[in-house]
């Protein structure tokens, strides 16, 4: 089955992974800007990173017939450095016209601090000013519930179209509030710290398939770039229709991303 | 949900049995720690694990509408203060 991975960090994956996910049916990936595993020291580090996301990765993905899209921001962890964050936010418009840029992301909270909230709001202003979609990171583990609720408070702005906002890494205790507020929700298939394919299938059965998608969030840590095929197998095993499975892994991300002027899938 | 409760139980029984045994062995490992009989019942991590086990043992028909997974997630979550904007006072620049 063809699928889209709506959240994966291919800069930290090998070329073999592109080949593997292509063989498993992946036709497009969307890669939000994130933390590199260390705090970067200057705005030029981010400028180079954004060149990697807008030039290098699309070319690497294309070798395997995969379309590569991206989102730009300074992530929540480095947002603690407000001065650097403001320099990065001021530089982002240089890249917004690149043909694979879908919007601003993954912005969010990490430890739910004042500085993180300040920079989250400034990213929101950037997205509004440039009519960009938003992809949101919600915090990990014990910080997720509090941070997700704080993010929903900050998003409560009449200038934002909720249908153009994706709130990622939802789990059992946050998915309801996100969907009820009218946002898109993404389930991240990280077996230990986030969600298994089985629990994702449970949430689909409980909340339905509207505005819901799944991602691998594959990165430099323990993660599986093939997590979406694992979800497909789990849903098939439970007897769900191909139409429902396809809606979660292909139609929904396509519908959400298509709100960006830079998104279109090649005819196959 | 297209499967019956019995079919689901049949499907997950051995997995659930294995996971519960794994949990039991983890608690045995804590009990067998090198500090012997020294109790750690006041450790908040252990308290959260024990509260979660209580949720697991409740009858699904008689608990609230939220799932056991959701209730256990909340045990391991920091609380949310609806007035956080007033207390934390984030300060975005107006011309950002």
**Residues from chain A contacting residue B80 (CB–CB below 8 Å):** 145-146, 149-150
pLDDT for B62: 53
> Does A118 contact B80 at a Cβ distance shorter than 8 Å?
no
Which residue from A minimizes the CA distance to B86? A114
Count of CB pairs separated by less than 8 Å, A with B: 69
ipTM, two decimals, is 0.91
**DSSP assignment string, B22-45:** HHHHHHHHHHT-TTTT---TT-HH
Supply the pTM of this predicted model.
Answer: 0.95
> Tens-of-pLDDT digits for all 268 residues of chain A?
999 999 999 999 999 999 999 999 999 999 999 999 999 999 999 999 999 999 999 999 999 999 999 999 999 999 999 999 999 999 999 999 999 999 999 999 999 999 999 999 999 999 999 999 999 999 999 999 999 999 999 999 999 999 999 999 999 999 999 999 999 999 999 877 889 999 999 999 999 999 999 999 999 998 999 999 999 999 999 999 999 999 999 999 999 999 999 999 998 7
Which of B84, B85, B96 is nearest residue A122 as measured by Cβ atoms?
B96
* Residue B6 burial (C-beta neighbours within 10 Å; 0-12, 13-18, 19+): exposed
Which of B3, B70, B77 is nearest residue A142 as measured by Cβ atoms?
B77
> Does A144 contact B84 at a Cβ distance shorter than 8 Å?
no
Interface of A with B in 172-201 (CB under 8 A): 172-173, 199
pLDDT for A265: 97
Residue B63 has pLDDT above 60, yes or no: no
């Amino acid at each position: 089955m063809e699928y889209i991975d709506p959240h994966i960090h291919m800069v930290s994956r090998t070329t073999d992974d592109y080949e593997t996910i292509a063989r498993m049916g992946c036709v497009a990936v969307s890669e939000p800007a994130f933390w590199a595993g260390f705090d970067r020291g200057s705005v030029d580090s981010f400028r180079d990173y954004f060149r990697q996301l807008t030039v290098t990765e699309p070319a690497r993905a294309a070798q395997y017939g995969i379309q590569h899209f991206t989102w730009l921001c300074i992530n929540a962890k480095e947002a603690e450095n407000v001065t650097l964050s403001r320099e990065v936010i001021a530089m982002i418009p240089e890249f917004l016209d690149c043909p694979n840029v879908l919007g601003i992301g993954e912005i969010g909270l990490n430890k739910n601090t004042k500085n993180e909230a300040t920079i989250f709001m400034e990213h929101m202003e950037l997205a509004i000013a440039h009519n960009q979609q938003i992809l949101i990171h919600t915090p990990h583990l014990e910080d997720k519930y509090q941070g997700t609720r704080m993010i929903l408070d900050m998003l409560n702005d009449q200038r934002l179209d909720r249908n153009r906002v994706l709130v990622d890494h939802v789990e059992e205790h946050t998915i309801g509030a996100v969907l009820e507020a009218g946002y898109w929700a993404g389930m991240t298939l990280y077996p230990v710290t986030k969600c298994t394919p089985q629990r994702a299938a449970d949430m689909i059965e409980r909340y339905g398939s509207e505005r819901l998608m799944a991602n691998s969030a594959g990165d430099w840590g323990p993660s599986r770039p093939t997590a979406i095929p694992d979800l497909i197998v789990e849903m098939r095993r439970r007897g769900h229709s191909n139409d429902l499975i396809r809606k979660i892994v292909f139609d929904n991300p396509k519908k959400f991303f298509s709100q960006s002027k830079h998104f279109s899938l090649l005819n196959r | 949900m297209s499967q019956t409760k019995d079919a689901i139980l049949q499907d997950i029984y051995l997995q659930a049995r294995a996971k519960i045994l794994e949990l039991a062995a983890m608690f045995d490992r804590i009990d067998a720690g090198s500090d012997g009989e020294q109790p750690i019942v006041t450790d908040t991590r252990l308290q959260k694990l024990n509260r979660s086990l209580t949720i697991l043992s409740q009858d699904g028909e008689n608990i609230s509408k939220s799932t056991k997974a959701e209730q256990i997630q909340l045990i391991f979550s920091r609380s949310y203060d609806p007035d956080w904007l007033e207390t934390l006072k984030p300060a975005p620049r107006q011309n950002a």
